[in-house]
């Protein structure tokens, strides 16, 4: 029961609570799932959820995404991934993604690559309920040579050559956001940019949606801040409160990405033995997300905190 | 190198001269600290210099969304293009994914900046892999926005570290299409954009012969010898014209603008 009791006008009898634990939410994802994770480059990835998937030793995921970093890299390094559909996997200022690099060089994962705006548009295409769309921006590149899903077509309207590509069509989408309520409404700050907007588009592309949030807020807050409610609850399958749940990526306007941690990750992930130790320490070796945060330490968490963000 | 200015100032001034008034310019995400300097910070300084000299009506799009930020107030060294700190950068406007500031498909981006692990003699670029795609020697970041830079933008300025291995006869993977296999290559593809116009390095500048579409040395930065350039260039075609001038030096006014107006804190151009 939220503080302040029921709000009669909107809380109907039988209104379903979607709040659950991290492990309950992660158990919804089965081996071989076609899945998209929210966030972009080193921002807003649902990392706590990803760590839980690794702890559960999930296998054979097909990840459909656009611009990924440590989220995809750690899943690849932990052996959870069969195929990736993407435009970028890298650690931005920290260089190449070491596990991704190693796995591709060893031929261990399948790839289907698209240019970045096309990778974004694949989610919009799903959100519109369409199965494909035309584009001309990959003409002349070698991408279609190795990605059979980039097909050629002549436009029936202007007779020009173009490519058609399929919608993203994820079975599950998992996002990390600032706030939500126990019924699955998700609030974003007003001052959104590409990482947040892409998450909102992904939420519309999802058949099933899990959202981890920094804070599950009182129902009354949602009613007062309704202009910030960007994911209406009927879209959400499960919602989980996970403070600092995007660490070491950022939760934009709540905390920055942990540059020291990512720098360390980029270093240790280069060596498979060192990476294994990292996984043992930060993923398998902790029993809960709180234990993980204790390991990171209060000082670091306070250092990356950005109260109010850009308001 | 003349001690009166740094090679980064020479590069920024040279970049500004490649830019024209009433154009929209685009820079995006870079990976690795060297590339962030070459691909983000030096071009921002060059674009700002152009705006302060001959191109006041031009438009800068940082990562496609941050419009005409105030260069002297850059809050970080461009380590991350969507970080909270970068959002505090005062600017003229914010775009978003649905209402983009400019549409590349409509030819509204006139100049883009791109880097690569490999650039070949026809200006094709590669940021996907070294070696065979299915079993690469080195797997890189992936195409990201490079295809559109080369197929849709009016022209592309390639900014690359001057290392021998970066300049090849033929790239291992085309992620940015230059003149493909020579004259007529782009026309066959029906591309709307103009492709690469210039290659900037920390040692020299290359352009492309309008007839053969082959890269050729345009100028060498002050203090760098032709031998040094050739030692660090992997091209095997004849890319050295009979005479190669020194890259024009920044003027006193350009240096003053860079140091006092555009980058007083030395965030964009290391001193």
Instruction: Give contacts of B 16-55 with A, CB under 8 A.
Output: 29-33, 36
| Per-residue model confidence as pLDDT tens digits over A241-288 | 999 999 999 999 999 999 999 999 999 999 999 999 999 999 999 999
CB A66 within 8 A of CB A36: no
First to last CA, chain B: 14
Domain ranges for chain A: 22-113+169-304, 132-166
- Nearest 10 degrees: Cα torsion A52, A55, A60, A63: 30
ipTM of the complex: 0.94
The minimal CB distance from B32 to the residues A95, A257, A310 is found for A95
Query: What percent of chain A clears pLDDT 90, i.e. is strictly above it?
Result: 91
Q: What is the DSSP letter of B250?
A: P
- Nearest 10 degrees: Cα torsion B95, B97, B100, B106: 160
Distance CA A244, CA A249 (A): 9
Question: Distances in Å between the alpha carbon of A218 and those of A177, A185, A213?
Answer: 16, 11, 13
User: Token pair for residue A103?
Assistant: 């796995």
- Nearest 10 degrees: Cα torsion A75, A79, A85, A89: 50
Per-residue pLDDT, A205:
97
* Mean pLDDT (whole number) for A5-20: 76
| Per-residue model confidence as pLDDT tens digits over A167-201 | 999 999 999 999 999 999 999 998 899 999 999 99
Is B137 near chain A, with CB under 8 Å?
Answer: yes
With an 8 Å Cβ cutoff, are B97 and A197 in contact? yes
The minimal CB distance from A142 to the residues B81, B141, B174 is found for B174
With cut-offs at 50, 70 and 90, classify the pLDDT of residue B1.
very low
With cut-offs at 50, 70 and 90, classify the pLDDT of residue B86.
confident
Instruction: Give contacts of A 111-150 with B, CB under 8 A.
Output: 113-117, 120, 136-143, 145-146
Q: Which of A141, A163, A267 to mutate to test the interface with B (most CBs of B within 10 A)?
A: A141
Taking alpha carbons only, the member of B106, B178, B184 closest to residue B147 is: B178
Mean pLDDT of chain A: 95
Query: What percent of chain B clears pLDDT 70, i.e. is strictly above it?
Result: 99
- Residue A221 clears pLDDT 70, i.e. is over it: yes
DSSP string, A8-53: TTT--TTPPP-B--HHHHHTTPPTT-EEEE--BTTB---HHHHHHH
CB B47 within 8 A of CB B11: no
Per-residue pLDDT, A10:
63
The minimal CB distance from A197 to the residues B36, B96, B177 is found for B96
Closest A-chain CA to B125: A141
Taking alpha carbons only, the member of B129, B156, B124 closest to residue B140 is: B129
Q: What is the DSSP letter of B190?
A: T
Closest B-chain CA to A146: B133
Q: Tell me which of B80 and A87 has the higher pLDDT.
A: A87
Per-residue pLDDT, A309:
66
- Name the residue with tokens 């296998």: A59
Alpha-carbon distance A43 to nearest alpha carbon in chain B (angstroms): 8
The minimal CB distance from B143 to the residues A143, A191, A192 is found for A143
Tell me which chain A residues have a C-beta less than 8 angstroms from the C-beta of B88: 310
Neighbours of A144 (CB within 10 A): 17
Per-residue pLDDT, B47:
97
| Per-residue model confidence as pLDDT tens digits over B188-216 | 999 988 999 999 999 999 999 999 999 99
Is B192 near chain A, with CB under 8 Å?
Answer: yes
Distance CA B257, CA B47 (A): 12
pTM assigned to the model = 0.95
With an 8 Å Cβ cutoff, are A309 and B84 in contact? yes
Alpha-carbon distance A285 to nearest alpha carbon in chain B (angstroms): 30
Stretch among A163-167, B1-5, B40-44, B177-181 having the lowest mean pLDDT: B1-5
Q: What is the CATH number of domain A22-113+169-304?
A: 3.40.1080.10
Distance CA A249, CA A106 (A): 27
With cut-offs at 50, 70 and 90, classify the pLDDT of residue B33.
confident
With an 8 Å Cβ cutoff, are B87 and A101 in contact? no
* Mean pLDDT (whole number) for B260-269: 95
Cβ-in-10-Å burial (0-12, 13-18, 19+) of A50 comes to buried
Is A181 near chain B, with CB under 8 Å?
Answer: no
| E strand residue ranges, chain B | 24-27, 59-62, 66-67, 93-94, 111-114, 118-120, 125-126, 129-130, 138-139, 155-159, 167-168, 196-200, 204-208, 215-220
Tell me which chain A residues have a C-beta less than 8 angstroms from the C-beta of B192: 136
The minimal CB distance from B142 to the residues A88, A139, A194 is found for A88
Q: Which residues contact B7 (CB under 8 A, 6 or more apart)?
A: B1, B202, B221, B223
Residues facing A96 on adjacent strands: A90
Per-residue pLDDT, B2:
44
CB A82 within 8 A of CB A34: no
With an 8 Å Cβ cutoff, are B80 and A309 in contact? no
With an 8 Å Cβ cutoff, are B191 and A191 in contact? no
Instruction: Give contacts of B 50-79 with A, CB under 8 A.
Output: 63, 65, 79
Tell me which chain A residues have a C-beta less than 8 angstroms from the C-beta of B105: 136-137
Distance CA A146, CA B118 (A): 19
Q: Which of B36, B82, B98, B106 to mutate to test the interface with A (most CBs of A within 10 A)?
A: B82
Per-residue pLDDT, A310:
66
Any idea what the Cα angle at residue A279 is, between residues A253 and A67, rounded to 5°? 45
Stretch among A261-270, A274-283, B64-73, B251-260 having the lowest mean pLDDT: B64-73
Per-residue pLDDT, A6:
55
CB A204 within 8 A of CB A224: no
Helix/strand/coil for B193: coil
Which bin fits B22, alpha (ψ -120 to 50), beta or left (φ > 0)? left
Distance CA B35, CA B46 (A): 16
Any idea what the Cα angle at residue A121 is, between residues B192 and A231, rounded to 5°? 150
The minimal CB distance from B145 to the residues A117, A136, A193 is found for A117
* Mean pLDDT (whole number) for A215-241: 95
- Nearest 10 degrees: Cα torsion B254, B259, B260, B266: 150
With cut-offs at 50, 70 and 90, classify the pLDDT of residue A15.
confident
Residues facing B199 on adjacent strands: B158, B206
**Please, what are the domains in chain B?**
7-262 (3.40.1080.10)
């Amino acid at each position: 029961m939220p503080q302040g009791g029921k709000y009669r006008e909107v809380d109907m009898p039988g209104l379903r609570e979607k709040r659950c634990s991290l492990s309950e939410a992660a158990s919804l994802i089965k081996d071989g799932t076609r899945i998209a994770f929210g966030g972009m480059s080193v921002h807003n990835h649902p990392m706590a959820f990803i760590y839980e998937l690794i702890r559960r030793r999930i296998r054979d995921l097909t990840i459909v995404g656009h611009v990924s970093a440590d989220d995809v890299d750690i899943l690849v390094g932990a052996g959870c991934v069969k195929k990736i559909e993407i435009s970028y996997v890298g650690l931005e200022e920290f260089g190449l993604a070491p596990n991704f690099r190693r796995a591709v060089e060893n031929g261990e994962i399948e790839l289907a690559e698209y240019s970045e705006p096309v990778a974004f548009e694949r989610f919009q295409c799903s959100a519109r309920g369409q199965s494909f769309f035309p584009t001309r921006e990959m003409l002349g590149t070698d991408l279609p040579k190795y990605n059979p899903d980039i097909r050629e077509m002549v436009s029936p309207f202007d007779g020009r050559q173009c490519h058609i590509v399929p919608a993203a069509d994820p079975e599950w989408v998992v996002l990390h956001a600032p706030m939500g309520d126990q019924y699955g409404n998700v609030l974003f700050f007003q001052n959104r940019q590409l990482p947040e907007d892409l998450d909102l588009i992904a939420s519309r592309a999802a058949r099933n949606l899990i959202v981890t949030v920094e804070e599950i807020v009182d129902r009354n807050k949602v009613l007062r801040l309704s202009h910030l409610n960007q994911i209406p609850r009927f879209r959400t399958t499960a919602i989980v409160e996970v403070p600092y749940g995007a660490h070491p990526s950022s939760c934009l306007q709540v905390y920055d990405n942990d540059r020291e941690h990512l720098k360390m990750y980029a270093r240790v992930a280069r060596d498979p033995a060192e990476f294994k130790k990292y996984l043992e320490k930060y993923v398998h070796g902790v029993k809960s997300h709180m234990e993980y945060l204790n390991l990171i330490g209060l000082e670091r968490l306070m250092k990356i905190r950005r109260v109010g963000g850009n308001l | 190198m003349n001690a009166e200015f740094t090679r980064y100032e020479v590069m920024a001034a040279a970049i500004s001269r490649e830019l024209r008034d009433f154009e929209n310019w685009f820079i995006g995400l870079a990976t690795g600290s060297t590339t962030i300097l070459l691909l983000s910070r030096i071009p921002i300084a060059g674009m700002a210099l152009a705006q302060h000299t001959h191109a006041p009506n031009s438009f800068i799009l940082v990562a496609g969304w941050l419009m005409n930020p105030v260069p002297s107030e850059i809050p970080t060294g461009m380590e991350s293009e969507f970080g909270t700190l970068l959002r505090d950068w005062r600017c003229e406007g914010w775009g978003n994914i649905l209402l983009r500031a400019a549409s590349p498909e409509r030819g509204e981006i006139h100049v883009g900046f791109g880097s690569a692990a490999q650039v070949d003699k026809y200006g094709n670029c590669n940021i996907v892999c070294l070696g065979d795609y299915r079993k690469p020697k080195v797997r890189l970041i992936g195409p990201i926005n490079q295809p559109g830079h080369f197929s849709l933008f009016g022209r592309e300025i390639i900014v690359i570290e001057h290392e021998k291995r970066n300049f090849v006869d033929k790239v291992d993977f085309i992620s940015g299409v230059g003149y493909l296999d020579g004259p007529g290559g782009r026309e066959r593809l029906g591309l709307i954009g103009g492709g690469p116009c210039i290659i900037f390095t920390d040692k020299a500048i290359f352009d492309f012969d309008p007839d053969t579409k082959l890269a050729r040395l345009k100028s060498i930065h002050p203090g760098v010898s032709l031998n040094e350039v050739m030692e660090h260039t992997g091209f095997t075609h004849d890319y050295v014209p009979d005479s190669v001038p020194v890259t024009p030096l920044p003027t006193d006014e350009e240096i003053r603008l860079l140091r006092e107006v555009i980058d007083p804190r030395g965030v964009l151009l290391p001193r």
